[in-house]
Amino acid sequence: MGLTGNRIETLLDPAGDVDMVILSHVHWDHVGTPSDFANACFVVGSGTLHLLEHGAGPLYPTEIFNDDELPAVPYATKEESYDAAPHAPKHTYAPSEAVATLPSSIPVDSWAWEPLANFPYFLDLFDDGSVFVIDSLGHLYSYVNLLLGVAGRRFIYLGGDCCHDPRILSGQKGIALYDDGKGRMRSVDRNMGVAKKKLGQINNFMEEVKVNEDIEVELIVANDKTWREKNRHGFWPGKL
């Protein structure tokens, strides 16, 4: 909403103006209120629907997920091969009767996971280099990051929950551990070893960018309070 004089004007109608929503993962604090986007197509990592329904083992039981978290039918997913694991979710295809589908301009038939820099799997969503989906397993199954072209040679890397403090990425801090109630230590990541590996890939990518004059990349993670306080203008209705 925006305020013009004494009149409140709608700057964006979630139901009418948004046709696509990409979720990094389905932890409750990252999904917002999907029902607000009544006509949007939700793009989620492969296995998300299975994860919502069945959970991901004893540390991520079904009870902590809402199986109706996303709208009933408008899903768009892309198949990916994951390491065989006891609780690895299965890929679920969008139903044929889905009321919201990807725009016809998106080259779904040509989608393919390919390497980008030191990331083993990325997807050029629109086939124009503007939005790259990066497979980012570790924090949770079906987890993705985005690399977005903003203007010219400037990009933004949306890391979501890749780390809960940017100092973890730089190596100044370690991943927090806590007692799981059964005498063992764990982190908030589904697989901390894989999460650390992914952080290494992101950090190496950012280091390469620093010496590469062709592009510049700003990294934004979901829980970076310092970034938030310095970049209030970057939140809607502002822009990055």
pLDDT of residue 155: 93
pLDDT over 90 at 156, yes or no: yes
The average pLDDT across 4-9 equals: 56
The average pLDDT across 208-217 equals: 83
pLDDT of residue 9: 66
- Of the candidates 33, 38, 34, 35, the residue with the CA atom closest to the CA atom of residue 15: 38
Total Cβ atoms within 10 A of residue 21: 21
pLDDT over 80 at 79, yes or no: no
The topology (CATH level 3) of 2-234 is Metallo-beta-lactamase; Chain A (3.60.15)
Q: What is the mean pLDDT of the chain?
A: 76
Predicted TM-score of the model (pTM) = 0.76
Q: What are the boundaries of each domain within the chain?
A: 2-234
pLDDT of residue 75: 34
**Lowest-pLDDT range, 27-41, 59-73, 211-225?**
59-73
Q: CB–CB of 174/167 below 8 Å? A: no
Run of H or E residues at 209: helix 192-210
